[in-house]
Structure 1
Amino acid sequence: MKTFLTRLRTAFNDATLRAYVRLQIFAAQEPVRLRAALTSLVLAGAVLIPALADEDVARTIASIGVVVLPVLVGESARSRVTPDA
């Protein structure tokens, strides 16, 4: 018989993995919405945490998000949101 803590840990691990996979799918299908959501979180953090209101901190966080997101979701997502020149 599994103990309660083992079942609880298994359920937590399962929920974490499911959330991670859903986030990956959402990032691949809706990269623009994900960027907007991340920007909104940074702005909300600047209201709640005064240290984030510093211009350099906000710029650094935004730059990391813009660079890391296309790398994580792949080239196909980036090509869908890049305008044709």
Structure 2
Amino acid sequence: MRRIFDYINDVTLRAYVKFQVFAEDEPVRLRSVLTSAALALAFFIPSLAQADITDHIVTVGAVALPILVGESARSKVTPTDPADEE
């Protein structure tokens, strides 16, 4: 049982470190993904109560738009790592 908890702890720490590295390297992409996740929760959960397909289409559009805009903005932003500037 101890090995299972050690494995879960190891996986959790590795994921946390990877998330920190991703947040440092890709701040614009991270913000766009977090915005999309918040919009997905805000739009999709209430639209489950309705059978109308337009709500689902609007939800997909509202969630995809910040990701697309974030990718566009990411290409225009200078790198955060000083080693990339050389």
TM-score (norm: length of structure 1): 0.52
Q: Which runs of 5+ in 1 are unaligned?
A: 51-78
| TM-fit CA distance, 1:21 | 0.2
| TM-fit CA distance, 1:40 | 0.4
Distance 1:49 1:14 in 2: 33
User: Which of 15, 21, 28 is the equivalent residue of 2:24?
Assistant: 28
Q: Which runs of 5+ in 2 are unaligned?
A: 47-77, 81-86
Secondary structure, counterpart of 2:41 in structure 1: helix
Distance 1:80 1:39 in 2: 21
Aligned length: 49
- Offset from partner CA, 1:48-79 (integer Å, 9 cap, x none): 334xxxxxxxxxxxxxxxxxxxxxxxxxxxx9
Instruction: Please give the root-mean-square deviation of Cα atoms over the aligned residues, in Å.
Output: 1.9
One-letter identity of the residue aligned with 1:19:
A
| TM-fit CA distance, 1:80 | 5.4
5 Å-filtered alignment, 1:1-85, equals 5-50=1-46
TM-score (norm: length of structure 2): 0.51
2:61 alignment partner in structure 1: none
Distance 1:9 1:48 in 2: 34
